[in-house]
Structure 1
Amino acid sequence: MKRSKWIWCAHNALREYNQTVLFKKEFEVTRTDGALLQITADSWYRVSVNGKWIHDGPARAYPDHYQYDEHDISAALKKGKNKIEVIARYFGIGTFHQIPQVAGLRAALLVDGQMIGTDSSWQAAPSHAWQQWTPKISIQMEPFEEYDARLEKVLDWQPAVEVKRPGKLVQRNTGLLTQKPRRPVGEPTATRVKKSAPHWCVPVAQLAHGEMIEANFYTSRPVVLGSVLTVRKKQQFDFSSMEWKVSVSGRLLKTGKVTLKPGKHEIRFFCNSFYGHNKELAFPWLNLKGWGEWSVELASACLFLDNDRRWFASFEHAEAKKAERRWQKAIEQYPKGFSTLDRSIEQVFMEDPAAQFTARTEVGMARRAVRSAAGGALGDSAVPVTVTPSPKGDAELCFDFGEQTCGYFEFTIKADEGVIVDLNAVEYITPDGTIQHTLPFNRNGMRYITKKGVNRFTSLKRRSGQYLFVTIRNAKAPVEIKSVRIIESTAPVSPVEMFKSSDPSLNKIWSMSERTLQLCMEDTFTDCPLYEQTLWIGDARNEALYAFAAYGNYDVSARSLELGAQSLDQFPMVGCQVPSSWDCQLPAWSFLWGMQVWEHYFHTGDKRFLKKLWSAVLKNLDGAEQYKDKYGLFSGPLWNLLEWAPIDHDNETVLHNSMLLVGALQAAENCADVLGENATQKKLKTRRNRLIRAINAQWNEEKGSYPDALLDTTGKASVKTCQHTSMLSIMCDVATPRIQKSALNNLLNSPKGMTTIGSPFAMQFMYEALEKAGEYDALLDSIRTKFQPMIDVGASTVWEMFAGSDFDTLGFPTRSHCHAWASSPIWFLTRIVLGIRQTDAGGKAFEISPWISGLKHASGAMATPKGPVHVDWRIKGKKLQITIAAPTGAKVEFIRNASMKGLCVIPAE
């Protein structure tokens, strides 16, 4: 890559929002073997060689540690002339995955003794087919994908321009994602939906702040939209909105409803939502007839932009409040202090196809309008199908992929020019047919506008769901859908062995958990494949354990840890989601990162990588040291969350933070021991013991619990108690033997009024505490109880929330139906039912002690760096027959336990 250059398109500004640029280069070779392509881009690329799709990338990375991918393209080359083509996108706005810097592509092709690097000899052209002015998919993701095939040949090829961009590149250190075609199962359902006008939204934060590379809550939007509405006859208008204040002829409306006489009326819309993560606000009035030209104005004196490190949910931000008060005063004093913005109408009003899908109205079935290719009823064939237009409404086909998946939409459609094809994926449809739409959290779809003839397309964005809705709009002649599929794209992992037992529910729970974990693994662990696809550091700690056990995968854990360490360049403690344009600190996640460092070493035995992270481990703990209250507890105006249960966490001193800090200190002591850092180990132990004493001083004997927090207002203990402090006190070895007895009782029999565990994420720690206390039956009973509702509704993956959670799921069982923080059964069924527990670093030694718990048989394996450790046991009468297979050189010790009482243990025949 050293002799290649960063390049971009001469027609495009380097920091403009949502650009898509095409690149190409022709070259000749006499030999094709051993051809390597190294490539990266800010923010995204897709590369093809001789028309064959090679891959997408790059992996997520901080700007100062940017990565390139390496592809073996020998099989795609031919002797003689060849062509490499790249689609590159620059998002031009912050996400939870990227911090865009400047548009650019960089590549080097090493083949036939030559290096063909990106430079001004490459050709570049802006793509007009990929629409530029679209809303963001979500606060976490890039702009929405919309493609107009009518414009794909409108290309002005010019020599690429070389771009200066500082910083070195390093090679990607995780596996490339898979490309597995998945087809729908069965026949699609065909529905007729009411034809509807376009839906619009306004990117208020972008209008206010221009080239905005951030994703913070504290981003003001002092924006006003204005136009003249010509009214033909007297009528009432409803401009009611939570997001907009409206004035008519200079008078602010109180309710939003107004009756206007015939004539011209000056209307102003003031952004009422001054802050928020939602960067685009719905604007439902653009379709009204009679609007004149639109103007955009900005109150510059009210502009405010800051990070979210001081947590907004609980703590006032004085400067932000001042800016908001200035804005409210400016609205009342309009037009004083406002300046006009020069923006094209398409930059102000962005069409929102996802909102149009969400607002769909069914008008009946469309079976007569949708026929198989043979002309028969739809049930004769899933695809291809022909859709006949009808004045009754638009045709909508729902394809079921049988289970949750994540990947690229791919389709072939034959149609006239100008047909609108909307594709939207969802995870769940209720038994009565109610769709769980993904808005307002995520625009989980795309729009395609056809050219005349055959249209073949593979989307640029990985999306997730089980059901894919294909809506045909604006058709005037039959449309043939020749094929629909999803190219599944995940980390290249597969389980070393499936868990099996005499309990079908446990088997199903394990397989659901494993499927979920696979869908939540990319170049890093991610929380969920639909709503965010974000590396949350706390989630990654838990998911790493599951991946160790199920797959023996360590590179995704290592990359997640590495990105956490690099976040310390901008934060005092490890960031909570990285790399990201959202600046916030969640201490519990910082401490879980420290625990994962030790666990990664323990499972891999990789001392070299541990040394690489060691300085970051100490820096993370030093950062925590600055946040101490007078009692010696961790305390700070940060996002002091552990989970969504109603813990009293809106205070600076929250007890669970201090307990997890104890866990991080203990992990660091273990690391210091391995690295021979004896003096550091001693200092860490002193800090840990001091913190333990401070925590246990808060134990309330009368309540038999720790308080949730110390209140900011009084400094006194919160009256609220929760299971979380009890479980973490056991898990992190905080509780004294006397306290531990009461803490364990809180887990097994929570007192009335105590906040209980709300999410599968926190349940991981509950199960760790129960395992440590030897309460294996309670642990397994909980798994059966908590996960059974997912089985009952036919889920293929495990959920973000347990059924009945306090989290507002809008009437559905959960928000995300695929969330790997819920995959804890992988870990605990392996450790408890199979009884496989590693006892030495790097998979050198294991204890095997299966817990029978009423089962008749069980089998499975735990992956290790040296190979899987397999256990197969079954009860035959009074005999426990067991087979154990371990890698050569690994020490294995079988240990009897209380569940085997009365059984004779013998090797299996």
Structure 2
Amino acid sequence: MAIPAKNTPWQGSWIWGGSEESPRNEWRWFRTSFSCPLDLEALAKAVLWITADSRYELYVNGTRVGRGPVRYFSTDIFYDGYEVGHLLRRGEVNTIAVQVMHYGVSTFTYLRGRGGLLAQLDILSEDGEITLAKTGADWLTSLHEGQDPAMARMSCQLAYSERIDGRKLAEDWTSSDYSDKHWQQAEVIGQAGMEPWVRLHPRDIPYLTEEPVLPARVISLNRVVPYRLTAFIDAYALMKAPGEENANHIRFCGAFMTTLRLKEASDVKVMFHVGGLGMVRLGEQVYSAEDMEGEAPLATLRAHLPAGEHVLLYTVFGPEHGHSNRIGIDADQEIEWVSPLEAEFVHAEGTMSPFVRIGPSYTYTCIDYVVQYDKFAAWKAAKTEFEDRIASIATIEELRATAYPVEPVPHSHANGEDAFMPQFAKRESDAYAVPASLQRIAAASSDPGIVPVFNNADTEFMLDFGKEWSGYLEFELEAEAGVTIDWYGIEYRKDTYIQHTFGLDNTLRYVTRQGFQRYSSPVRRGLRYLIVTVRGATSPVRIRGVRIIQSNYPAPEIGSFQCSDDRLGRIWDIAKHTTKLCMEDTFVDCPAYEQTFWVGDSRNEALVNYYAFGGTDIVERCLRLVPGSAFQTPLYGDQVPSAWTSVIPNWTFFWIVACREYAEHTGNREFAAEILPSVLFTLDHYLKLLNADDLLDMKGWNLLDWAPIDQPDDGIVTHQNVMLKKVLEDAAAIVAFAGVPEQGTKYTERAARMKAAINQHLWSEERGAYLDCIHPGGRRSTIFSMQTQVMALLADVADEERQVLLKEYLTATPEGFVPVGSPFMSFFYYEALMANGNLQWMLDDMRTNYGFMLDNDATTCWEMYGHTTMNRANENDLTRSHCHAWSAAPGYFLGAYVLGVRSATPGWTKVIIEPQIGDLSWAKGTVPLPQDGCVEVSWKAGNGSLTELTVTAPELIELDIRVPAACAVTIRRVKTL
């Protein structure tokens, strides 16, 4: 249960442990024990307040209570409050245990602060508070000894992948019976209000759900042999400017080097999963990209090498955003890699890797709303010079003669404990039938699944969870000690094809101890399929339970939709499930690759949510987070809270639209008044970027759609201009709704000037359409796109004659126009279609585009349609993300227009019921209301007209029913509390 706020000052102190303020990927345990008095009467009102940097898991007397905090900007951290009276034991020793996962690196969901924990257990009563426990010097702390911090980043958006050594893991560390005598005393680092956590705020969203989901079946079994050597290298951390703390991408000039040692001559294969890969030297031979087999994201070269030591050196330049380089080495004979500096360094085992870093000789950080052409040109020149010099180098002595920095790479930033590269760097893979004894893993049976053992090979099998899920992996098993089990989540497979999550290390590596053991991962993952590889077992591993703890915003599944076309009904279902999985503590773009709150995506996600779930506090939380990025840019970040300083102007504009829509949806005038200064703040900064012709002319990431439209990163982009014109009017609407209409005049007048300028400068009489852009220097684009015309229609910039033309284009795309390229853009396309009465066209478009997803076994909506991306290297690689809520448009439009349920007044006090039937014969469904209750609609049609309509609604809701006179209407009213 959520506790709204802590009303008394914090008595607990911020605490930490160890020697570093912000260590890399450190998981730290904290404990305290206390006596609970027998005569304490108000125990039921015991509340444990807690927050931590970066994330925590909380236990009371061995029971996990919760995890958090919700994402935050460092200066404004949120805290949680849990009622724990039912877990306390009167007259006994009680224990609070906390696992804090500190990232030590900035991501797209977190800005680096420092490690810290703040907690306090209070008994609330009418007479005040009694504090039973609080963080301070009496707490004890220990490193999580079973967690390996020397792991690769999961992705540039997220923190680190996971390796757990069960031999070092104390499962009972959260209980009162555990002995913590060997633990250290925690260090008090400051009081509540200290930097960087200057302000503490109560959690502003309900706690997320935790529902166990079991696999449906085991669908494959393989005998596999991985490459002899695999490793990751954290090039981003190694090549970044020292002390620069952000998540911006970088370009650099650098290289990595190792030595391959062979006792006998052998054929050698080297596989690279490296972004920005340049030349490669292997032994005496230098290879260019053209010399390698395959293409990004994998490149491979083959060579025959004699016995002895051979240099492996490659150049790398970026752009690099936080992903790790990965290398795989295979050979017919035994092979090992050693550091070229091995003889020069005496170090403890496991502290240094076999790699050497060369450079960087040049590095610059890219900020995506400041286009740095001068730095880009300098980098290209430095890149050419660097590669020319490196290409001729064959020894470490020659490297040093160049005067480039040459440093050993520490084990923490490069090692062979990578579970991702072995998933596709395989020398052998043979398929076997799945035995019934293994299938029991998916049978929810008390009998364990038995994993078979292969001689001189590993055992790989794949679990299918039936559909995509998002949450935390748990498992129970029995094994001998020292077996490595790799767990790897993917979203898509087809027959023998596996779509690897390139760009996302979605793995967990677990090393077993002897006997029975269980593990619950604190790292969120999105997946449908789970590939499990058992490595090094000499006897069968017995797996008793595997499950995903599905975790999302607690959205009651009120909304529903069915109709005479089951295909459309299934499309609505996957749109709903997609949106559910992308509702965490904010909306996120996807549950797997990024888990990032992209501001522009969330506008469309909010509308789908209104119709599927009716959630409002998650929308308000998202909207209020956005202005927190003002310290990074007054134009506001396109994803927040994030350390990537990036601006997509349209994403800020969509945020303003969403602010207006939320205020009107809920009828919340207080919100409108509170968010208004932030809306006007960023708009005023955008207005400063208008040129003398009243057009937005700016450098930036000027994105709208993943399609070949002309949207350069500098110049006058038409779709941005029409959106700015629209949100100036939306801002005026927020001003009016907030009760201060006189402030809106400035913005409506500026919108009128922009409209005139757009029509004067951005219209082509020859093509009868708005051109995509005007490039710097005045060159008018020769590209025309449906995207630009759709946004111009929605922004109402065209006069009546031009509007007629644009409306015709909605169902008859002119030859040569760029078509809609993504489901995200389809949302706006459907808005334009429905504004102009083209329901049938929209239904047919859904059947084609979303039907293609269904035909390819989709259970969630894809980021891209699939058939529009066939130019990929593999015809099965249809989209990157297979669960992307920006694509869930049917979840909104089928309810709003086929059911015909829409708001007529702020707060839905009056509701329009205007079903549109298209080629359907019946439909029924439910739409949640922002206040209590919902509206249920059921209709039938015949001979192209509505014949029956039944509406059920709360008695206080006014209904505006718009149906043909011949339609039989039944209205049912329900009382409200």
**Per the shorter chain, which TM-score range?**
over 0.9
Q: Report the CA distance shift for 1:123/1:622 in structure 2 as closer, same or farther (over 3 A).
A: same
CA distance in 2, matches of 1:345, 1:211: 20
Matched, 1:642 2:685: no
488, 498, 501: which one aligns with 1:435? 498
CA distance in 1, matches of 2:854, 2:421: 31
Unaligned runs of 5+ in 1: none
Shift of 1:348: 2.9
Alignment check: 8 A CA contact 1:298 1:340 kept: yes
**Residues 275-674 of structure 1 aligned to structure 2 (within 5 Å):** 275-285=319-329, 288-289=335-336, 291-292=338-339, 293=342, 294=354, 296-299=356-359, 302-311=362-371, 317-318=376-377, 320-321=379-380, 324=383, 327-328=386-387, 331=390, 334-335=399-400, 336-341=402-407, 343-360=409-426, 363-367=429-433, 371=437, 384-391=448-455, 393-430=457-494, 432-438=495-501, 440-650=502-712, 651-674=714-737
What corresponds to 2:909 in structure 1? 844
Shift of 1:760: 0.8
Higher strand share: 2
Shift of 1:196: 4.2
TM-score (norm 2): 0.86
Cα deviation digits, residues 100-156 of structure 1 (max 9, x gap): 211112212223722522111111001121111100001111110110111224985
Q: Report the CA distance shift for 1:795/1:851 in structure 2 as closer, same or farther (over 3 A).
A: same
Alignment check: 8 A CA contact 1:528 1:816 kept: yes
SS of alignment partner, residue 153 of structure 2? coil
Q: Report the CA distance shift for 1:373/1:396 in structure 2 as closer, same or farther (over 3 A).
A: closer
Cα deviation digits, residues 49-98 of structure 1 (max 9, x gap): 11111121111111111111222223322222211111111111121110
Shift of 1:200: 0.6
Cα deviation digits, residues 681-721 of structure 1 (max 9, x gap): 11100110111111112211221211111123x41321110
CA distance in 1, matches of 2:442, 2:206: 41
Matched, 1:887 2:947: no
Matched, 1:829 2:894: yes
CA distance in 1, matches of 2:790, 2:151: 46
Shift of 1:422: 0.9
Cα deviation digits, residues 309-366 of structure 1 (max 9, x gap): 3257x99635544654664476478423334546533433353211211334664344
Give the AA of the match of 2:249: F
Cα deviation digits, residues 819-860 of structure 1 (max 9, x gap): 111111121111111111101111111221111223222222
What corresponds to 1:161 in structure 2? 187
CA distance in 2, matches of 1:623, 1:523: 29
What corresponds to 1:216 in structure 2? 248
- Out of 165-174 and 363-372, give the one that drifted further: 363-372
* Equivalences, count: 896
What corresponds to 2:58 in structure 1? 47
Matched, 1:120 2:167: no
775, 798, 810: which one aligns with 2:861? 798
Q: Report the CA distance shift for 1:443/1:217 in structure 2 as closer, same or farther (over 3 A).
A: same
CA distance in 1, matches of 2:500, 2:439: 30
Give the AA of the match of 2:477: I
Q: Report the CA distance shift for 1:283/1:890 in structure 2 as closer, same or farther (over 3 A).
A: same
89, 94, 98: which one aligns with 2:106? 94
Shift of 1:779: 2.1
- Out of 737-746 and 75-84, give the one that drifted further: 75-84
Give the AA of the match of 1:317: F
Alignment check: 8 A CA contact 2:282 2:313 kept: no
Matched, 1:66 2:77: yes
Shift of 1:36: 1.5
CA distance in 1, matches of 2:70, 2:703: 28
CA distance in 2, matches of 1:772, 1:634: 27
Q: Report the CA distance shift for 1:640/1:78 in structure 2 as closer, same or farther (over 3 A).
A: same
CA distance in 2, matches of 1:462, 1:261: 46
- Out of 782-791 and 321-330, give the one that drifted further: 321-330
Shift of 1:232: 4.5
What corresponds to 2:395 in structure 1? none
SS of alignment partner, residue 70 of structure 2? coil
Cα deviation digits, residues 847-881 of structure 1 (max 9, x gap): 21111223222222222222212222224788722
Shift of 1:725: 1.4
Matched, 1:864 2:929: yes
Shift of 1:419: 0.7
Cα deviation digits, residues 778-817 of structure 1 (max 9, x gap): 2222222221112223322111111312486542332211
Cα deviation digits, residues 408-441 of structure 1 (max 9, x gap): 11110100111111111112211x2311111x22
CA distance in 1, matches of 2:271, 2:467: 41
- Out of 246-255 and 572-581, give the one that drifted further: 246-255
CA distance in 1, matches of 2:698, 2:374: 11
What corresponds to 2:221 in structure 1? 190
CA distance in 2, matches of 1:268, 1:60: 42
Q: Report the CA distance shift for 1:519/1:686 in structure 2 as closer, same or farther (over 3 A).
A: same
- Out of 776-785 and 633-642, give the one that drifted further: 776-785
Report percent identity of matched pairs. 30
Alignment check: 8 A CA contact 2:51 2:119 kept: yes
What corresponds to 1:243 in structure 2? 277
Alignment check: 8 A CA contact 1:302 1:326 kept: no
149, 152, 169: which one aligns with 2:169? 152
CA distance in 2, matches of 1:691, 1:449: 63
CA distance in 1, matches of 2:269, 2:652: 48
Q: Report the CA distance shift for 1:395/1:565 in structure 2 as closer, same or farther (over 3 A).
A: same
**Residues 671-690 of structure 1 aligned to structure 2 (within 5 Å):** 671-690=734-753
Give the AA of the match of 2:463: F
The root-mean-square deviation of aligned C-alpha atoms, in Å, is 2.9
Alignment check: 8 A CA contact 1:648 1:718 kept: yes
Give the AA of the match of 1:307: I
**Residues 252-267 of structure 1 aligned to structure 2 (within 5 Å):** 267=311
TM-score (norm 1): 0.93
Shift of 1:754: 0.4
Alignment check: 8 A CA contact 1:123 1:157 kept: yes
CA distance in 1, matches of 2:204, 2:226: 49
Alignment check: 8 A CA contact 2:217 2:442 kept: no
Give the AA of the match of 1:424: Y
SS of alignment partner, residue 831 of structure 1? helix
SS of alignment partner, residue 663 of structure 2? helix
Shift of 1:450: 0.5
CA distance in 2, matches of 1:538, 1:319: 33
CA distance in 1, matches of 2:434, 2:882: 33
Shift of 1:235: 6.1
Give the AA of the match of 1:894: I
Give the AA of the match of 2:85: S
